[in-house]
Amino acid sequence: MSEEKTYIMTIDQGTTSSRAMIVDKKGDVVSMSQREFTQIFPEPGWVEHDPNEIWNSVQSVIAGAFIEGGINPRQIEGIGITNQRETTVVWEKDTGRPIYNAIVWQSRQTAGIANSLKEAGHTEFFHKKTGLVIDAYFSATKVRWILDRVEGAQERAEKGELLFGTIDTWVAWKLSDGDLHITDYSNASRTMLFNLETLDWDDEILELLNIPRVMLPEVVPNAGNYGKTKSYHFFGHEVPITGMIGDQQGALFGQLALEPGMVKSTYGTGAFIVMNIGDEPIYSKHNLLSTIGYVLDDKVTYALEGSIFVAGSAIQWLRDGLEMLKDSKDSQEMAERSTNHDEIYVVPAFTGLGAPYWNSDARGSVFGLTRGTTKDDFVKATLQSIAYQVRDVVDTMEKDSDIDIRLLKVDGGAALNDYLMQFQSDILGKEIKRAGNLETTALGAAYLAGLGAGYWKDLDELKAFVKEGATYTSKLNDARREELYEGWQHAVEATQLFAKWKGE
């Protein structure tokens, strides 16, 4: 009788859906299940999730992946968790009941707290400690907002009755039925509460924000045996949880961008460009984020990151809001059909501009329209806006790191758009290499869980799994490239001027 096969499971808890994926010894995906959940918009600019609905969706996709693959839970050697970062949950320690909805990373409802910190002169204080800019994007202002908003929450938190966690923490806590209150270094470094030098929660920041340390989870490396699920979540079996990582760092690891200078760009709802910078942090002078890439065997790998708030969601806007196309996939054909001379610029700042501008007041704008402008032209300009924003970040990374980036590894749903990828190469003047399997976030978490469980012995074994997709090289001459990019820079400048005028 042949020996029963074993596998690694990844739980990928994203912004709009939860997925479970099962991976075999060769790094191939053998089963996957996905389920969307409700997006809650209580007020303009606010985005929330129901933590219990997220948990229900996670349980559903776990069961779905087992059923889809005909796999028994006893065959799983380890579970990896990857997650939408910064999204914040506060819940009761005794009951597990959230005291408020999860505040999502995209939400601007805590901008007032962020602005007051900046006005009080704390910008450099936070940057030196956390490597981040002060922004509503990060978890710290969200925790403060919940403690202020919910009656009695501050007092209960100080008594140790409430717990804080990002979604990785929430999922691990639920899987273990409260035995595990943990987060990993990559997620901790996105809270605006974590010190990059001491690798611990920062007491001065906690005191400034009046956030009790007793609320915070234990910080653990990205691979290791943290504890086990309760058997009733896995059909009578306890399964070790052996890997955790934030989604964008997960994609960096899934692309096996393990050497300093390697860069990946994930094109999802937003776009996230992450650069491996090795074992010392670089504190950006140009508004990028210094963060932890991953921690293995007590060795810390740091990263630089540029976060773009609107990428794939701009195409969804064309489809759902403007009804310019029926399916997001149609955008490629429409862009290729356009015959204009790239004189239209769309700045999709629907929720402000991210890196390197960090202008939360900016809103979407369009420049260069004429009577001859067609839907095809508008769709093409929207796709180009994604590539222009990525160039903003890549150029800034080269300035901060003093490293010449020659190759950009790409993944995410919009990376399948050949027009976008070709224009990305054109406007960067660099080679673009698409991952053979675009599920790099979930794969990164699977690789870490496999290392933590001893399923794979080392990184060299993982490198044999890499599958590469299409490669794109620039077809634009330097003069035309810089002319187009200069137009983009003027469009962004005009967008910010309008935001400043409107705010006065």
Binding site for ADP: residue ranges? Answer: 15, 19, 269, 312, 413, 417
Q: How far is CA 267 from each of CA 288, 312, 314, 357, 390, rounded to the nearest angstrom?
A: 18, 7, 11, 19, 10
How many whole angstroms separate alpha carbon 193 and alpha carbon 189? 8
How many whole angstroms separate alpha carbon 245 and alpha carbon 81? 7
- Taking the CA atoms of 245, 292, 193 and 110 in sequence, report the sign of the dihedral they define: negative
Residue 192: strand, helix, or coil: coil
How many whole angstroms separate alpha carbon 355 and alpha carbon 362? 13
Tally of CB atoms within 10 A around 41: 11
How many whole angstroms separate alpha carbon 350 and alpha carbon 254? 30
List, as residue ranges, the binding site.
15-17, 19, 85-86, 137, 247-248, 269, 312, 316, 413, 417
Q: Are 50 and 6 in contact (CB under 8 A)?
A: no
Per-residue tokens: 474: 């620039």
List, as residue ranges, the binding site for glycerol.
85-86, 137, 247-248
How many whole angstroms separate alpha carbon 269 and alpha carbon 351? 12
Residue 359: strand, helix, or coil: strand
Q: Helix count (H) and strand count (E) of the chain?
A: 16, 23
Closest CA to 166 of 82, 228, 249: 82
Q: At what angle do helices 418-428 and 375-401 cross, to 10 degrees?
A: 40
Strands 468-472 and 345-347: unpaired
Q: Are 220 and 182 in contact (CB under 8 A)?
A: yes
Instruction: Name the DSSP letter for residue 321.
Output: I
The residue with tokens 């997001």 is 328
Half-sphere exposure (Cβ direction) of 285: Cα atoms closer than 13 Å: 5
Q: At what angle do helices 51-69 and 167-175 cross, to 10 degrees?
A: 60
How many whole angstroms separate alpha carbon 465 and alpha carbon 27? 6
Q: What angle do CA 179, 180, 181 make, to 5 degrees?
A: 125
List, as residue ranges, the binding site for ATP.
15-17, 269, 312, 316, 413
Residues 6 or more apart from 140 whose CB is under 8 A from it? 191, 192, 193, 205, 209, 211
Q: How far is CA 83 from each of CA 37, 92, 329, rounded to the nearest angstrom?
A: 14, 21, 26
List, as residue ranges, the binding site for sn-glycerol 3-phosphate.
15, 85-86, 137, 247
